[in-house]
Amino acid sequence: MDARTNPPMTPAPGKDSKAVTFVKRTASTLGLWALVTAAFVSRLDWAYVSLIGLLVMLATVEYVRMLKDGGVRGFPGFLVVLSLAYSVGLYGFLLGDGVPVWFDGIAIFAAMAGAFALQLRRPIEGNGPILAVALTLFGFVYIAFLFNFAARLIFVVPGPGEVPGAMLVLWGIAVTKFTDMGAYIVGSAIGRHKMIPHISPGKTWQGFGGAIAFALLAGCGLYALFRDDMPNFSTGLHVLGGWPMVVVLSIVLSLAAVVGDLAESVLKRSLSVKDSGHVLPGIGGALDLIDSLCFTLPLLYLYVTWVAG
């Protein structure tokens, strides 16, 4: 069979205590921020896109492993190669004269047509073939396409230096990750009322409130500290549009971050797998790291291009 209706749940390892989990998560978070800071301090455009590309490929490999563990027979090799080719091509255009309008359309077409073409070599058994095609296309859009908006944001606004949008990307990452942090800290401390128990039993409404509060703290705090380091449009308008829009954007991005986090929970539960990976102790895999960013950074990019237009 290409897919099983009720794949077995992956055995769960022994659970750590809350204190141990908190220490592991804190250590992983600090290590990640050190890596991100090193890339930002370098002020080298290739360092930025290399880090983004590494996360794209790690998350894609984790995704195909999740499909395998969930009993879905997809096209892992094709998805990995397509994600790599798309990322390399995108970075080449971004570091050059800009991304042509046809590039994304060609990539989506290649993902769809390629998956169907590969399926022609297999027999039709139940709903397995359409799941294989759909989840291959979904994996490409979900990870390689959406997360690479991080790379697009770096070059979205012309400015001095090789990476004019660096602080804009940092602002978006900080708001997103503080959302996750606020939900975890507040939810662990005072969480009582379950938010969506059928999808993520650990999420609470108290944690949701903490997520928004921490997002506002990060968004407003970074804007106050680094406003002058962020680029302006040719009209003189600040890239984030001033204090009212900073507040609105912080809240909107925090909501998108929560949806992005829950989206991966839906994926995991649908495939009956526990974790996407174990690269980051206390956090999980690369996909666990970027799931929220796959929703917030495209939204931030669309806002900036809308204001610029």
Helix (H) or strand (E) holding 267: helix 243-271
How far apart CA 181 and CA 189 sit, in angstroms, is 12
Residue 102: DSSP 8-state: T
pTM higher than the cut 0.75? yes
217-234: average pLDDT: 87
Dist. CA 150–CA 172, nearest whole Å: 9
Please, which pLDDT band fits residue 20 given cuts at 50, 70 and 90?
A: low
Does residue 250 carry a pLDDT above 90?
A: yes
Q: What's the pLDDT at 24? A: 62
**What mean pLDDT value characterizes the chain?**
85
Copy the structure tokens of residue 250. Answer: 């912080």
Specify the range with the lowest mean pLDDT, choosing from 105-109, 242-246, 276-280.
276-280
Given a cut of 60, whether residue 160 has pLDDT beyond it is no
What angle (nearest 5°) sits at the alpha carbon of residue 292, between those of residues 173 and 178?
Answer: 50
Beta bridge partners of 232: 238
pLDDT tier, 309 (very low <50, low <70, confident <90, very high otherwise)? low
Q: With a cut of 50, say whether residue 7 has pLDDT above it.
A: no
111 touches 137 (CB < 8 A):
yes
Identify which has the larger pLDDT, 307 or 76: 76
Confidence label for 19 from pLDDT (cuts 50, 70 and 90): low
